[in-house]
Amino acid sequence: MYNTKAYSAASATSPLSLTQIGRRAPTEHDVQMEILFCGICHSDVHSVRNEWSNFMSTTYPIVPGHEIVGRVTQVGSAVTKYKPGDLAAIGCMVDSDGICPNCKAGFEQFCSNMILTYNSPDKHLGGVTYGGYSDSIVVDEGFALRVPDNLDLAGVAPLLCAGITTYSPLRHWGVTPGKKVGIVGLGGLGHMGVKFAHAFGAHVVVFTTSPNKKEDALRLGADEVVVSRNADEMQQHAGSFDFILDTVSAQHDINAYLNLLRPDGNVTLVGAPPNPLEIPAFSLIMGRRSLSGSIIGGIAETQEMLDFCGEHNITADVEVIPIQKVNEAYERLLNSDVKYRFVIDMASLKTE
């Protein structure tokens, strides 16, 4: 075991601050990485503040961060995919059992023994796993991803969660040319959803509560922008969507979007507001509409997404911050004030 610097929160009401954490010495299948950049996902905020306590409560101290890009510093004797000096990335998962039908099918994210990058049981050291707001990390090579060498590294970090979480359902629900697709919420996930839906050739409509994001939405690849608090604008799209991806982090009326689906259309939730949704049966039975959810994506699909981004020159639009500004960034996220992902330059941690 060795010690490394990190930022952690001691309770649901504490700010994040500097600490030391233990990491395991790399075993034969492990890759050790120096972390260069780590994105700030709204899930980090939900977790630090224990907002998902009914579903997965937070163990403190918590070190968040699951959009990790770094450079390999050491590899175990059995590692074949990486060597010291290579770039590598880690997303939301660091392990799974590898033997269940879900793992065998490439759906590690559905494995009942899946280990999240933070706040999951750590089978090596005990306690819980610690995420990417840190100097370095050790991971099984099977959960490390290859980074295309033509992309800006700060802009790559958010692909590891915001990227795969939007890419996967857009692929699953057959988003292709000729489809009318809505993206609800223009934040970290939403802006990646717009880029992918546009790259897949769909007609893309952004729904936002922030009228000042209109021009950005068009620049990011939207064909139309609807201010969702304007009922008339919403009504103009009634019954017309094939697919709508909802990325909103807070309570809102999902029925307003179900009503915009054409027959057999689907709304998929990736946003994870803490409170239950209220959905009248008629929102679904009219037009045989469906509502579903989606969580990140498997390792193979995450690699496919990264390779797609390399080929199509897609990265996140980022605001790079030093780690000392992380608490301020959380407040700005809660105000929908992000363009469009905060990414921590981990060099800033070395100065502490």
Nearest distance from C-beta of residue 41 to ligand NAP, angstroms = 5
250 binds, among ligand NAP, Zn ion, none (CB under 5 to 8 A by kind): ligand NAP
Q: How many of the chain's residues bind ligand NAP (CB under 6 A)?
A: 31
Nearest distance from C-beta of residue 92 to Zn ion, angstroms = 6
Which of these segments, 5-13, 113-121, 140-148, 269-277, binds ligand NAP (CB under 6 A)?
A: 269-277
Return the sign of the alpha-carbon dihedral for residues 177, 180, 181, 185: positive
In the bound complex, which residue of the shown chain has the CB atom lying closest to ligand NAP? Answer: 187
Nearest distance from C-beta of residue 100 to Zn ion, angstroms = 23
Which of these segments, 41-49, 136-144, 179-187, 283-291, binds Zn ion (CB under 5 A)?
A: 41-49
89 makes contact with Zn ion (CB under 5 A): no
3-state secondary structure the chain: CEEEEEEEECCCCCCCEEEEEEECCCCCCEEEEEEEEEECCHHHHHHHCCCCCCCCCCCCCECCCCCEEEEEEEECCCCCCCCCCCEEEECCEEECCCCCHHHHCCCHHHCCCCEECCCCECCCCCCECCCCCECEEEEEHHHCECCCCCCCHHHHHHHHCHHHHHHHHHHHCCCCCCCEEEEECCCHHHHHHHHHHHHCCCEEEEEECCHHHHHHHHHHCCCEEEECCCHHHHHCCCCCEEEEEECCCCCCCCHHHHCCEEEEEEEEECCCCCCCCCCCHHHHHHHHCEEEECCCCCHHHHHHHHHHHHHHCCCCCEEEEEHHHHHHHHHHHHCCCCCCEEEEECHHHHCC
260 makes contact with ligand NAP (CB under 6 A): no
Nearest distance from C-beta of residue 52 to ligand NAP, angstroms = 8
Contact 137, 23 (CB under 8 A): yes
Nearest to ligand NAP of 164, 349 (CB atom): 164
270 makes contact with ligand NAP (CB under 6 A): yes
Nearest to Zn ion of 41, 225 (CB atom): 41
277 makes contact with ligand NAP (CB under 6 A): no
> Footprint of Zn ion on residues 137-166 (CB under 5 A)?
161
268 binds, among Zn ion, ligand NAP, none (CB under 5 to 8 A by kind): none
Nearest distance from C-beta of residue 338 to ligand NAP, angstroms = 5
Nearest to ligand NAP of 51, 135 (CB atom): 51
91 binds, among Zn ion, ligand NAP, none (CB under 5 to 8 A by kind): none
Contact 271, 246 (CB under 8 A): yes
> Footprint of ligand NAP on residues 167-226 (CB under 6 A)?
185-190, 208-210, 213
> Footprint of Zn ion on residues 12-31 (CB under 5 A)?
none
316 makes contact with ligand NAP (CB under 6 A): no
**Interacting residues of 230 by C-beta distance below 8 A, sequence separation 6+:** none
- Which spans of this chain sit near ligand NAP (rule: CB under 6 A)? 41-43, 46, 161-162, 165, 185-190, 208-210, 213, 247-250, 252, 270-272, 294-296, 333, 336, 338
- Which spans of this chain sit near Zn ion (rule: CB under 5 A)? 41, 43, 161
